[in-house]
Amino acid sequence: MSVPDSSAGPLSGIVVLDLTRALAGPHAAMMLGDQGARVIKVEAPEHGDDTRGWGPPFVQPEQGERESTYFLSCNRNKESITLDFKDPDDLAVLTRLIRAADVLVENFRTGVLDRLGFGMSRLQELNPRLVILSITGFGHDGPEGGRAGYDQIAQGEGGLMSLTGSSPEDPTKVGVPMADLIAGMYGAFGVLAALHERGRIGTGRVVRTSLLAGMVGVHAFQGTRYTVAGEVPGVAGRHHPSICPYGLFRAADGMVQIAVGSDRLWHAFAAAFGLDRPEWSRNADRVADRDAVIAAVDKAFSTYDRQTLMATLAELGTPAGQVRSLDEVYEWEQTRSQGLLLDVEHSTLGTVTLPGPPLRYDHGGRTSHLAPPILGEHNESVRAWLDGMGGNEPGG
């Protein structure tokens, strides 16, 4: 049986209209572009997406505007067209793009699209097959549905910061914009589900998520600790609250992480490091006595350098790892072997290396990737594409 050519990606033929800025929406649209969709990013003239100004660091080409590394992180595989939503001619172009699109992604504050004349009912009237992804800060309705959403605020309001840090007095945000990224991921997942449904029923639907929803969605076992067991979790720090030992420990020359995720692993580990005590034979017992277990493991590890300790743990079959800085991650051969670095040709910066798409397929997948666009780079080509349709946009 022959294998179909999927070198353009599994979403080849899907057109995504990206009306978003900042991170959650652009990340969702980029995920779709990574899988082969054609993503047309609509930006305001002159300044474009907010993230074009977020820095430093900026990269300055020899000629032209400086480029923000923040913008470069979330806008690969997109085309950029500038439209002024106060200009009737530009709104007419937007209308044509809506008719031509399969997916529209927006993260305006609640009510903005309605004021522009493109509320949800109007979008569905223009293109009944359109799948619309709407990402908000705290939800589009409810008593606080109109609140603006920024990542760190959502990490705090959504409980993530109460679980992260060294003590209850030191709530800490995750080192990347986790609320934005998770909302974008859930949004892209919802779009794929809606596209699958559209293939069955012929019409699109509105998919909604928010930064708050994303944060609650990743509470995992910490959420059910409260909803089922009635416990209010606190900061987890360097160690897992329900598995012991699982966390960060000190070797003689640095830090090593281990995950002793079963009693079987524990018995082999404990025997090798002189920790085989009857009162610690079960995970629940070790969790109850976690401070003593952690202190004992730290003491056992203190006589080993990291390299020797990692080798010993590997022989035992104990899952273990180091804490790498980002330069070490990107220089690591394992990272490179997984296709997680991507070289693209930027129109002003030349060849740049970006973190690559995190999905791989057993065959095919998108093999040619676009660099993040400069502002308005595709104004002419997108308009020419619309003109070539001659008013026969698919959704019209």
Count how many Cα atoms sit within 13 Å of the Cα of residue 29 in the half-sphere of its side chain: 37
Cβ(110)–Cβ(83) below 8 Å: no
Q: Just list the catalytic residues.
A: 180
Cβ(128)–Cβ(204) below 8 Å: yes
Cα dihedral 319/325/327/328 (nearest 10): -30
Q: Which residues pair with 354 in a beta bridge?
A: 342
Give the pTM.
Answer: 0.91
> Digits of tens for pLDDT over the chain (396 positions)?
334 444 689 999 999 999 999 999 999 999 999 999 999 999 999 899 999 999 999 998 765 678 999 999 999 999 999 999 999 999 999 999 999 999 999 999 888 999 999 999 999 999 999 999 999 999 999 999 989 889 999 999 999 999 999 888 899 999 999 999 999 999 999 999 999 999 999 999 999 999 999 999 999 999 999 999 999 999 888 999 899 999 999 999 999 999 999 999 999 999 999 999 999 999 999 999 999 999 999 999 999 999 999 999 999 999 999 999 999 999 999 999 999 999 999 999 999 999 999 999 988 789 899 999 999 999 999 999 999 987 666 654
Cβ(251)–Cβ(179) below 8 Å: no
Domains and CATH numbers, the chain: 15-218+333-389 (3.40.50.10540), 246-325 (3.30.1540.10)
**Helical residues (DSSP H) of 161-262, grouped into ranges:** 178-201, 211-217, 221-227
**Contacts made by residues 69-72, CB under 8 angstroms, sequence distance 24+:** 71/372, 72/352, 72/354, 72/372
State how far the alpha carbon of 306 is from the alpha carbons of 249, 252, 303, in Å. Answer: 11, 7, 10
Examine residue 57 and say whether the peptide bond preceding it is cis (omega within 30 degrees of 0): yes
Question: 31, 41, 28: which is closest to 11 by C-alpha?
Answer: 31
Contacting residues for 159 by C-beta, under 8 A, at least 6 apart: 215, 216, 219, 222
